[in-house]
Amino acid sequence: MVKPDGGVVTKGATLHTLAPGLAVALGAVAVSLLLHAVVPMLPSMTIAVVLGIAAVNLPVTSQWCQGPLRAGLNFAGKHFMRAGIVFLGLKLSLGDIMGLGWISVALIVGVVLLSFAGTFTLGKLFKLGGDTPLLIATGFSICGASAIGAMAAVKNTKHEDTVLPVALVTLCGTLAIGVLPLLMHPLGLTNLQFGQWVGAGVHDVGQVVATAQTAGAVALSAAVVVKLTRVVLLAPIVGVAGALERRRHARALALMVAGSPEAAAAPRFPPVIPMFVVGFLLMAALRTTGWMSDGVIEAGALAQDITLGAALFGLGSSVRVRELLNTGLRATVMAMCAWALIAALAFGAVHLMSA
């Protein structure tokens, strides 16, 4: 079922309820992949988010998104996101990452940790509420909307509270596609250094590819390896967040039990590492063994595009532009500051790699 105001799906949702929204989300993915094939500079995931935002803000389609499609769109935004994270693991080969050398890997890890801490601090300084600072920090420092979805699952964040972080990570990543190539020559970067900078500083994998390919194959290869090194950190960061969340729940439960023994019934603790993150690690391990054929890897990449694209369309269809303009200005300014911070940290790391 769907709330009259377009709220989240209840546990009683059936296939009949979900089917219309899921069908539209998958149709949007097909359009996104087609547009990406025609204009490779536009990442399919970014197109999917934009289509979702357009669908819920255009008068003709808005009522459908808020009514009969809402259940399926919310389902896609949550569950397809998790499936997409599992398939994302197939992009990772730990051998390629270790080929960077331990100094480069350490620098990339340093960029991620400093980016995470800096972005989270900015979120607090800008007085963003709830889990928003944490979600933005996760998405900006690791791998965009996929990381936001993983962290939201650990924190049990409401679906609607992930909308703003996803919109911001999409906005800044899209700006990177147009802005960073213009800075390559003024900053005196070689093709290799530019690729490393993009891989270390741009959020989503698709946005990294779209940005780096403007400088050629060398830049693209370097960007992808550096970016996937950042993606590996999704598991430990989510794991730490899960452990802290369980500890918080345990303390809250202890206080409840102290006041009322009946409160101890059926305690619910979040997992330290969600099963879809375990799946992500297993897929990465399988890719690293070299046992998987190119056909299987390509099929996994397509499955990732489909599931993540549908999830991002679902999340985008929750973004009301008018409300975003009214409530998201402070968050947008904060995101721009975080974007500049991460770009600066990545730029410094690139020069240390070349030293």
Separation between Cα atoms, residue 92 and residue 289, nearest integer Å: 11
Separation between Cα atoms, residue 113 and residue 120, nearest integer Å: 11
In tens, the pLDDT along 322-344 reads 777 776 788 999 999 999 999 99
| pLDDT for the residue 2 | 37
Sign of the torsion formed by the C-alpha atoms of 287, 107, 338 and 224: negative
Q: HSE, CB side, 13 Å, CA atoms: give it for residue 253.
A: 13
Q: Answer for the pair 118, 343: CB distance below 8 angstroms, yes or no.
A: no
Q: Answer for the pair 170, 145: CB distance below 8 angstroms, yes or no.
A: yes
Separation between Cα atoms, residue 221 and residue 201, nearest integer Å: 15
Task: Give the chain's mean pLDDT.
Answer: 87
Q: Is 9 helix (H, G, I), strand (E, B) or coil?
A: strand
Separation between Cα atoms, residue 55 and residue 44, nearest integer Å: 16
pTM over 0.85: no
Residue with tokens 């969340």: 245
* Torsions phi, psi for 183 (to 5 deg): -95, -10
Residue with tokens 């009949």: 16
In tens, the pLDDT along 125-151 reads 999 988 999 999 999 999 888 899 999
